[in-house]
Amino acid sequence: MVTSRGSSLSLPHVEVPMELHAFARSASVIACVMALAGCGNRDATSPAESATLVVTVNTPIPDAGAVKVSGPSAFSRTLAHTDTLRGLVAGEYDAVAANYATPDSLVSTVLTGVITGSPVTLEPAQTGMMTANYAIRGGSGALWVGKWGTVNLAEGYTSPQLAAAGTATPADTLGAGASLRNISGMVFDTAGNLWATDYINQRIMMFTPAQLASGASAPVVEFSTAKEPWGMAMDVQGNLWVSYYNGNYVAEYSASQVATWSGSISEPTPVLVINANIGPLGLAFDAHGNLWAAGFDVPMTYEFSAAALAAGGTVLPADSLVSAYLAHGSGLAFDPGGNLWLGTELGYVVGYTSSQLADTARGLPTFAQTGASRVDHIAFDNAGNLWMATETPDVLMLSPTQLASGNIVPAARTLTVASGERTFGLGFDVHSTALPLAPSYSLAGRAPNLVGASLAPPPSVTPHDGVTPGNVPRR
């Protein structure tokens, strides 16, 4: 040993028993463990101080929830069913019950949820609870068929009914009554409300999901129009677009306008009016936000660019499709691959590929075949099957194989409405997300492999021949 003055000091040697050596080593280990525990090694996920959150998810269909839980330290977890989240950092946790669309080969059911007990603040060693209650959204999980007659305004057919085809009694009905009624066009908004045009009685209507489930007769929104409304489309901002056949224009009603409508109202003033002197019927938005309008009086389909629509003012067509096959055009829909399909009241099904639409020299359609005496609105299901209203009691389904080959007679399936009335409007109620799609609401499925042209002989065309949609006399 060295003293403070630098001299050495000798200490006597002491013999330590082996038992004390062992005890000293054990005490050293214990002291190290205690030191580590006392130096911040008990993080927030240790059992002594972590929090627990029990999230109960009640769904009428197993594993059909979409509850997103978020919290401190960028915590995020999405739950399809009831779960217990352990080892959580103390703090505030919030949850959102997002809408859930069930997987289905034809048409998906939508579930909507409500959260209770959120947000919740968890302290260390505390257990909190949240509950999400889901229910099936009224009207979802069905193909809705707009009618022309006196029995029902529209009817809903479920996925099993569509798979079975044949003559079917609807699972849901809307607008039963004795007076002549008609739905010529329809579209579902992001909340599942059904918007519809009545071309015969010149009116526009809206029905809520609750009404779709209950079979209500009176819409929650209704107004008469000076001209004949036909096609409808909803853009990604929630603006409603309507084509007026004998007015030769397309009108835009803003999302903020639509949100204020309630009950029976006077005809609102559109925020934008586009001249379309082709007798516009079917409307559809492509994935780029461009609006397409089918011409009935002239064999043309107009394209209005997204930029021009946003700018407003005088909007002129950016381009157009011109072909005899487009005469008396009615329905429009884009498939998941971006190919454009049209139905005509001369019975043609017409297809343009996405590459054609992107080319300035578009030429003839790649596909044009007759499959029915008349084709009105068209819609794609989840598997890429194309359904067509025919102004008869039959709704025809063409498979992706048929759309690729051109052999569309006979149709792969035929759904016959039990009432025997004429079918016009079509719309799948399958999802809650805003999508740049036509009234068909085509969500999934594959794009038909359009390789090589498949063209039947074109029709004889006389523009402005005096024929009207559905052969309804001019007013």
Cis amide bond preceding 119, omega within 30? yes
Q: Which pLDDT value is given to residue 358?
A: 87
pTM, 2 dp: 0.84
Q: Which pLDDT value is given to residue 170?
A: 95
One domain for residues 256 and 329 = yes
What is the Cα–Cα distance from 441 to 439, expressed in whole angstroms? 5
One domain for residues 294 and 418 = yes
The verdict on residue 389 lying in a domain is yes
For the domain that residue 105 is a member of, what is the CATH number? 2.60.40
* C-alpha 232, offset from chain centre: 15
DSSP H helical ranges for 286-371: 306-311, 354-358
Sorted by sequence, the CB contacts under 8 Å of residue 365 that are 6+ apart come out as 321, 323, 325, 350, 351, 352, 356, 453, 455
Residue that terminates a domain, selected from 136, 162, 179: 136
Neighbours of 133 (CB within 10 A): 16
User: Do 107 and 381 contact (CB within 8 A), yes or no?
Assistant: yes
User: Do 308 and 318 contact (CB within 8 A), yes or no?
Assistant: yes
For the domain that residue 271 is a member of, what is the CATH number? 2.120.10.30
One domain for residues 451 and 371 = yes
What is the Cα–Cα distance from 270 to 252, expressed in whole angstroms? 5
The verdict on residue 127 lying in a domain is yes
The verdict on residue 393 lying in a domain is yes
Task: Dig out the tokens for 40 from the structure.
Answer: 């911040």
The verdict on residue 28 lying in a domain is no
One domain for residues 124 and 153 = no
Going from the C-alpha of 35 to that of each of 39, 55, 171, 225, 344, the distances in angstroms are 6, 37, 70, 81, 82
The verdict on residue 15 lying in a domain is no
Task: Dig out the tokens for 376 from the structure.
Answer: 């009105």
The verdict on residue 10 lying in a domain is no
Sorted by sequence, the CB contacts under 8 Å of residue 187 that are 6+ apart come out as 194, 195, 232, 233, 234, 240, 427, 439, 441
One domain for residues 148 and 292 = yes
The verdict on residue 384 lying in a domain is yes
State which residues of the chain have pLDDT below 50. Answer: 1-44, 431-452, 474-475
Sorted by sequence, the CB contacts under 8 Å of residue 405 that are 6+ apart come out as 454
pLDDT digits (tens, 9 = 90+) for 172-227: 999 887 566 789 999 999 899 999 999 999 999 999 999 999 988 889 999 999 99
Q: How many domains does the chain have?
A: 2
What is the Cα–Cα distance from 128 to 92, expressed in whole angstroms? 10
What is the Cα–Cα distance from 395 to 366, expressed in whole angstroms? 24
Amino acid at 345: E
One domain for residues 56 and 187 = no
CA atoms within 13 A on the CB side of 182: 21
User: Do 392 and 422 contact (CB within 8 A), yes or no?
Assistant: yes
Residue that terminates a domain, selected from 105, 136, 167: 136
The conformational region for residue 391 under phi > 0 = left, psi -120 to 50 = alpha, else beta, is left
One domain for residues 105 and 153 = no
pLDDT digits (tens, 9 = 90+) for 415-452: 999 989 999 999 999 743 333 333 332 323 323 333 34
Single out the residue of 171, 210, 176 nearest to residue 193, CA to CA. 210
What domain range is 93 assigned to?
A: 51-136
One domain for residues 105 and 186 = no
The verdict on residue 77 lying in a domain is yes
The distance in angstroms from the start CA to the end CA of the chain is 119
One domain for residues 146 and 126 = no
One domain for residues 263 and 345 = yes
One domain for residues 391 and 413 = yes
Residue that terminates a domain, selected from 77, 104, 136: 136
User: Do 197 and 230 contact (CB within 8 A), yes or no?
Assistant: yes
One domain for residues 203 and 307 = yes
